[in-house]
């Protein structure tokens, strides 16, 4: 059954296509001319022979991997990419993690920087990034190049965004130099000729701007060498600007900066940038002020020439972009539409229209939104109400919780960065405020649900507290741009060293345990922003798809100790009446069978976990509980059920998109889903150290082949690359065994078919009995919108759910109402409003009088009739699930 396919089908997706090397659809240059031009460029750059050889090899690979119609402007673009890759590999021959790595000159020759390369090939850096993103998907690049490119791109995004903010601040703070101000109206001419005294070039506005930007680059390189934090960088920029303004004459400043000084100057800058003055002062006192005194001085002032020399030396050694060229608006670093965007921004400011959302403003807004959540009496210590919950427990957890928080704070600050202890402590203070706030909200929800004050089991769970703290850390890191933040675009890419799962490694926390807290966390804090919720959902997806399946995961331990086969279906008659209710923290952490024992190795023959009973005996479980003499009810893990349910949904929806792009029919798609589900639920050992997308693609190929509708792996991988948020390592580097990795085709032949061949052959067209097809999963309700729904007996399709807080807020004035929102406030507007209200009241009163006898009956919100069970709205989670099995309807997990 194993297929014999060429490995290059998966690695070189479009290798059969040629490369259009022209700039304006002209004739493709000959190989001889390209070689001549390339060697000439190498001579101009004074490259060593070793770099030339590496660049030639890279150039041939890039030309083979390129395809026509991609919009490349010139074959010099390929020269730039090839030389860049050769330069990085020469600087880091043993990879970026080499402890002996030293950035320096190449083989003793004059160094070549990326800026020099872009200037010689006349290529803009944004176009360079675009070309490299395309080419690295076509050819194999070294780990040094991949990581360096990610760091370079993120650094450029941050610096370019900061320079935009720097220019905006300078326009509001400084008066324009007489020589550079193009505005020739009478007022400015009079000011220049009669008010502003002659200013030497070394003391003018241009000099001050250059000094400020140079100081900032040194400060950024010193404090953000391990940590590209946009918010922190903005605060450093403000401190640098305030330092320069201290010695700037008043006549060079615009109002009100010409009359304010010292602390008021920093306060005004903080107001303009819309950030916290406390954070800026903390950075100023603990970081910038001591650092400024260490910079070279001459006659009591900073030595600008020496500072520029030091920066140039550092820039040549590192070989990246020359950030000083931003001051000159170098065309190779500034996008071509920069001036147009700047003009439109200035016009919008003058006209009063809404300003466009810049990366810096987005970063500042994200931080302010988190601070707004914590502004409501949130403390970095347990509140009195929380302490009361602690004291009501059979085992008081107050001391253990405080000690754990202190220990994890020490671990966090020591792993943050050695040069930013103050910033690390400030970040963790916000973490503690979130941690205690959400914990109190969770306990309030549990108290309302269970009517008890003793939460000893939950509050004594170490994994619960570590997970809750880790979720708070992840939110704070995301807010400050250290972890993946989609709202910041390229700046928020998931390439930071603090990106998830950094917090799991630091806190020594299992991904499966961390997964348990995410839903409860979102429900417990209703004020979380959309960006934070999207980030937590992204984190959950990473866990479901790959992180939880790594060797040594507690997930395998949970599967080992489960008494129920994961594939046992559950009929509607045996489901719990309240099975559509949401899962709470107690449900997830206190459900049975989560021992800390080691993982039992899977069978070497078929890759499945050993089972101790037949599927029928294991699946029965006496759901009704009528026979008291039968075996005790099997242990069920609600967290494990929810995990597999979400894995199934995640895999199905991605499979659905992939099948649509490949034009796979619905009946074949159902068979593929059945195979995919069977593999995950019956052979979880196949998932160890692998990605669910690898199982999905192999299931798709295998089923299509046996139903005689074969789709080549090359086509599958090509379409898979078009899905959102996919990683090429999924199809280029699949785990085989030990330290062996292979392409997705190698995994299919060597591992997947060895375990799934018998099952897949049952779907063959010549087989009379095919496996029963699995029902497709339904979309699960979002944790933010999920709430308990109750049906009222005798009233079909009538449901009641608790309302915590009204989403409608009365605007400050009627003039701020939009046409849509005005419909929400119809009462009290227009003629006859009081009459309408009176009619509504009378109608309701008449209905109550007519139905008085029936109103004496008590509404049983805790019971659901058979008719109502069939009328559960589609927005509620389904009672019957193929993958996940429900918790026993007669037990509360919190008391197990």
**In this predicted model, what pLDDT tens digit does every residue of 673-722 receive, in sequence order?**
999 999 999 999 999 999 999 999 999 999 999 998 889 999 999 999 99
Quick check: 306 pLDDT over 90? yes
Give Cβ neighbours of residue 197 (< 8 Å, ≥ 6 apart).
Answer: 251
- Mean pLDDT value across the chain: 75
Distance CA 432, CA 438 (A): 10
Quick check: 251 pLDDT over 60? yes
Beta bridge partners of 174: 253
Please give the pLDDT value at position 697.
Answer: 97
Residue 206 token pair: 């241009």
Query: Confidence class of residue 784 from pLDDT cuts 50, 70 and 90?
Result: low
* Average of per-residue pLDDT across 747-761: 95
Please give the pLDDT value at position 440.
Answer: 94
Are 177 and 253 in contact by the 8 Å Cβ rule? The answer is no
Ranges 147-151, 450-454, 569-573, 830-834: which has the least confidence: 569-573
Question: Diameter of the chain by CA atoms?
Answer: 105
Are 469 and 475 in contact by the 8 Å Cβ rule? The answer is no
Please give the pLDDT value at position 66.
Answer: 62
Ranges 15-29, 196-210, 367-381: which has the least confidence: 15-29
Please give the pLDDT value at position 885.
Answer: 39
Bigger pLDDT: 596 or 774?
774
- Strand blocks (E) in 485-525: none
Q: State how far Cα 99 lies from the chain centre.
A: 29
Q: State how far Cα 6 lies from the chain centre.
A: 35
Query: Confidence class of residue 561 from pLDDT cuts 50, 70 and 90?
Result: confident
Bigger pLDDT: 507 or 889?
507
Ranges 91-100, 369-378, 486-495, 622-631: which has the least confidence: 622-631
| CB atoms closer than 10 angstroms to residue 468 | 23
From the list 575, 458, 542, the residue with the least C-alpha distance to 884 is 575
Question: In 3-state terms, what secondary structure has residue 741?
Answer: strand
Residue 313 token pair: 């030396």
Cα dist from 106 to 51, 89, 92, 103, 110, whole Å: 8, 11, 11, 9, 7
Give Cβ neighbours of residue 232 (< 8 Å, ≥ 6 apart).
Answer: 223, 224, 283, 420, 423, 480
Q: State how far Cα 328 lies from the chain centre.
A: 35
| CB atoms closer than 10 angstroms to residue 779 | 12
pLDDT 10s digits, 324-353 = 999 999 999 987 555 444 444 344 333 333
Please name the residue that has the structure tokens 């741009």. Answer: 481
From the list 468, 422, 463, the residue with the least C-alpha distance to 443 is 468
Question: In 3-state terms, what secondary structure has residue 697?
Answer: helix
This prediction's pTM: 0.73
Query: Confidence class of residue 223 from pLDDT cuts 50, 70 and 90?
Result: confident
Distance CA 31, CA 715 (A): 31
pLDDT 10s digits, 869-882 = 444 344 333 333 33
Distance CA 82, CA 86 (A): 6
Please name the residue that has the structure tokens 């417990």. Answer: 524
Bigger pLDDT: 655 or 69?
655
407 membership: H or E segment, kind and range: helix 398-416
Please give the pLDDT value at position 10.
Answer: 41
- The percent of residues in the chain predicted with pLDDT above 90, rounded, is 36
- Strand blocks (E) in 197-303: 297-298, 301-302
From the list 137, 118, 327, 296, the residue with the least C-alpha distance to 730 is 137
Are 230 and 366 in contact by the 8 Å Cβ rule? The answer is no
Helix pair angle (384-391, 398-416), 10° resolution: 120
Quick check: 759 pLDDT over 80? yes
pLDDT 10s digits, 138-167 = 788 888 888 888 888 888 988 998 999 999
Cα dist from 636 to 558, 640, 681, whole Å: 10, 8, 15
Are 427 and 480 in contact by the 8 Å Cβ rule? The answer is yes
Residue 517 token pair: 């807290």
Query: Confidence class of residue 599 from pLDDT cuts 50, 70 and 90?
Result: very low
């Amino acid at each position: 059954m194993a297929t014999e396919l060429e490995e290059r089908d998966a690695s070189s997706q479009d290798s059969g296509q040629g490369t259009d090397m022209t700039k304006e659809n002209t004739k493709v240059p000959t190989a001889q001319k390209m070689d001549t031009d390339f060697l000439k460029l190498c001579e101009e750059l004074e490259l060593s022979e070793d770099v030339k050889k590496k660049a030639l090899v890279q150039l041939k690979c890039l030309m083979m991997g390129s395809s026509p119609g991609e919009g490349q402007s010139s074959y010099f673009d390929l020269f730039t990419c090839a030389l860049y890759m050769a330069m990085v590999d020469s600087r880091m021959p043993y990879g970026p993690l080499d402890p002996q790595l030293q950035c320096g000159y190449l083989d003793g020759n004059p160094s070549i920087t990326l800026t020099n390369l872009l200037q010689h090939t006349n290529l803009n850096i944004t176009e360079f990034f675009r070309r490299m993103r395309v080419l690295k998907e076509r050819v194999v690049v070294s780990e040094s190049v991949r990581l360096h490119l990610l760091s370079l791109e993120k650094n450029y995004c941050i610096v370019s965004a900061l320079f935009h903010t720097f220019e905006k601040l300078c326009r509001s703070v400084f008066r324009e130099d007489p020589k550079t101000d193009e505005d020739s109206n009478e007022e400015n001419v009079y000011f220049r000729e009669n008010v502003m005294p002659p200013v030497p070039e070394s003391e003018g506005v241009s000099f001050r701007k250059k000094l400020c930007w140079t100081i900032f680059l040194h400060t950024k390189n010193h404090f953000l060498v391990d940590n590209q934090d946009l918010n922190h960088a903005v605060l450093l920029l403000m401190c640098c600007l305030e330092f320069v303004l201290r010695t700037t004459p008043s006549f060079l400043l615009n109002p009100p900066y010409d009359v304010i000084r010292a602390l008021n100057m920093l306060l005004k800058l903080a107001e303009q940038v819309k950030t916290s003055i406390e954070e800026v002062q903390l950075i100023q006192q603990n970081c910038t002020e001591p650092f400024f005194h260490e910079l070279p001085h001459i006659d009591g002032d900073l030595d600008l020439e020496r500072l520029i020399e030091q920066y140039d030396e550092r820039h040549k050694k590192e070989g990246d972009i020359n950030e000083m060229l931003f001051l000159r608006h170098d065309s190779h670093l500034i996008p071509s539409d920069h001036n147009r965007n700047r003009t439109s921004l200035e016009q919008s400011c003058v006209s009063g229209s809404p300003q466009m959302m810049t990366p810096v403003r987005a970063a500042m807004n994200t931080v302010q939104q988190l601070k707004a959540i914590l502004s409501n009496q949130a403390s970095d210590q347990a509140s009195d109400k929380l302490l009361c919950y602690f004291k009501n427990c059979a085992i008081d957890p107050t001391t253990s919780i405080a000690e754990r928080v202190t220990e994890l704070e020490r671990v966090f600050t020591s792993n943050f960065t050695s040069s930013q202890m103050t910033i690390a402590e400030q970040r963790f203070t916000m973490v503690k405020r979130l941690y205690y706030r959400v914990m109190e909200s969770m306990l309030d929800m549990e108290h309302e649900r269970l009517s008890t004050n003793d939460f000893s089991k939950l509050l004594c769970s170490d994994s619960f507290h570590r997970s809750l703290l880790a979720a708070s850390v992840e939110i704070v890191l995301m807010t400050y741009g250290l972890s993946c933040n989609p709202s910041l675009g390229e700046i928020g890419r998931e390439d930071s060293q603090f990106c998830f799962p950094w917090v799991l490694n630091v806190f020594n926390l299992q991904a499966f345990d961390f997964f348990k807290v995410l839903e409860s966390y979102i429900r417990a804090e209703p004020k979380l922003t959309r960006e934070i919720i999207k980030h937590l959902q992204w984190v959950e997806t990473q866990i479901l798809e790959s992180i939880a399946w790594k060797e040594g995961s507690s997930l395998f331990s949970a599967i080992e100790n489960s008494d129920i086969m994961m594939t046992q279906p559950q009929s509607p008659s045996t489901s719990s009446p309240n099975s559509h209710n949401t899962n709470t923290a107690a449900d997830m952490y206190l459900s049975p069978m989560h021992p800390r024992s080691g993982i039992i190795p899977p069978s070497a023959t078929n890759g499945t976990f050993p089972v101790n009973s037949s599927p029928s005996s294991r699946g029965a479980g006496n759901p009704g509980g009528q026979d008291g003499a039968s075996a005790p009810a099997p242990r069920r893990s609600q967290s494990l059920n929810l995990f597999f349910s979400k894995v199934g949904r995640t895999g199905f929806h991605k499979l659905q998109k992939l099948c649509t792009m490949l034009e796979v029919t619905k009946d074949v798609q159902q068979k593929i889903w059945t195979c995919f589900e069977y593999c995950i639920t019956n052979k979880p050992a196949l998932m160890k150290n692998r990605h669910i997308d690898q199982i999905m693609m192999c299931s798709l190929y295998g089923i299509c082949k046996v139903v005689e509708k074969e789709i080549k792996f090359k086509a599958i991988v090509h379409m898979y690359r078009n899905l959102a948020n996919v990683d090429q390592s999924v199809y280029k580097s699949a785990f085989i065994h030990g330290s062996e990795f292979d392409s997705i085709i190698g995994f299919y032949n060597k591992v997947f078919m060895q375990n799934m061949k018998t099952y897949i052959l049952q779907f063959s067209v010549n087989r009379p009995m095919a496996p029963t097809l699995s029902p497709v999963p339904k979309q699960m309700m979002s944790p933010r919108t999920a709430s308990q729904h109750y049906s009222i007996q005798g009233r079909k399709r009538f449901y009641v759910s608790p309302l915590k807080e009204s989403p409608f807020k009365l605007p400050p004035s009627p003039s701020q109402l939009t046409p849509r929102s005005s419909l929400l406030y119809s009462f009290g507007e227009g003629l006859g409003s009081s009459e309408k209200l009176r009619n509504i009241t009378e109608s309701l009163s008449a209905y109550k009088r007519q139905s008085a006898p029936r109103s004496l009956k008590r509404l049983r919100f805790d019971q659901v009739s058979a008719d109502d069970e069939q009328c559960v709205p589609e927005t509620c989670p389904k009672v019957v699930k193929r993958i996940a099995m429900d918790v026993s309807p007669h037990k509360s997990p919190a008391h197990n």
